[in-house]
Amino acid sequence: MSAALAPLKLRFENVEKRYGSLLALRRLSLQIEHGQAVVLVGRNGSGKTTLLRIAAGLIRPSSGRVILSDEAEGPRARVGFVAHQTMLYDELTAEENLFLFARLHGIRKPAPRVEELLGEAGLRERRASLVRTFSRGMRQRLTIARALLEQPSLLLLDEPGTGLDVPGLLWLAGTLRRLRDAGCALVMSLHGQSELSALATRAIRLEAGAVAADSAVTGAVEPVLQVAGA
């Protein structure tokens, strides 16, 4: 890690998101700090994806505030996001995808970083292949690599283990551990990958758009994870 990770706070203040009359998130407040690895658990439809997308800045809350870093209107902290969909261009090659996003993020000389990530993700041999030809597992690796381009200080992951084989999962777990230890804040929603839940320093269970349990309050991570079967 070359760039130092700035202290980060992600704060939700009474965030509500309604779709018509459906309340996806109800007046949710929480704070996530620099270096925390938070695992989000909950049934389908409990609001995990909505929470992550709001944190990423993709969804605009119906009410409430989301504050990233200490200033309310602070500069965009470096946020990486791994979503349900790959968010990759099928008609471009692996390295073209990485170069594209690296340039958009404003990384001046993207080549070394792209090289590094391709190596880490085990995609060096397939760098010049169109993503369309990739397996699900390879796409997932590339998506994760893309999220890491900017050396994010906040990494949001929505069921990141989907499609990954065991080596892939081990790589992801190792990468996340390194990031966490370097001070990056991690928020990931899981559906029962024990490799990844072992990383958690905090667990939050969502139910119907509200926080049902938070290990920061209850004190222990395991019980929160276990109830949801993670």
**Interacting residue ranges for other proteins, rule: CB under 8 A:** 19-22, 53, 56-60, 76, 79, 81, 83-92, 96, 100-101, 103-106, 146
For residues 64 and 49, what is the distance between their CA atoms, to the nearest angstrom?
Answer: 18
Query: Shortest gap between Cβ of 12 and other proteins (angstroms)?
Result: 17
Query: Shortest gap between Cβ of 118 and other proteins (angstroms)?
Result: 18
Query: Shortest gap between Cβ of 114 and other proteins (angstroms)?
Result: 14
Q: Hey, which residues does 18 pair with through a beta bridge?
A: 23
Cβ-based nearer residue to other proteins, 84 or 124: 84
Cβ-based nearer residue to other proteins, 163 or 195: 163
Cβ-based nearer residue to other proteins, 38 or 81: 81
The CA–CA distances, whole Å, from 203 to 138, 186, 225 equal 28, 11, 7
For residues 107 and 89, what is the distance between their CA atoms, to the nearest angstrom?
Answer: 19
Cβ-based nearer residue to other proteins, 67 or 92: 92
Angle, CA 78 vertex, CA 183 and CA 151 arms, to 5°:
60
Query: Shortest gap between Cβ of 31 and other proteins (angstroms)?
Result: 22
For residue 179, give every residue at least 6 positions away whose Cβ sits within 8 Å of its Cβ, in sequence order, or none. Answer: 148, 152, 155, 186
For residues 40 and 209, what is the distance between their CA atoms, to the nearest angstrom?
Answer: 12
Cβ-based nearer residue to other proteins, 149 or 225: 149
Query: Shortest gap between Cβ of 197 and other proteins (angstroms)?
Result: 26
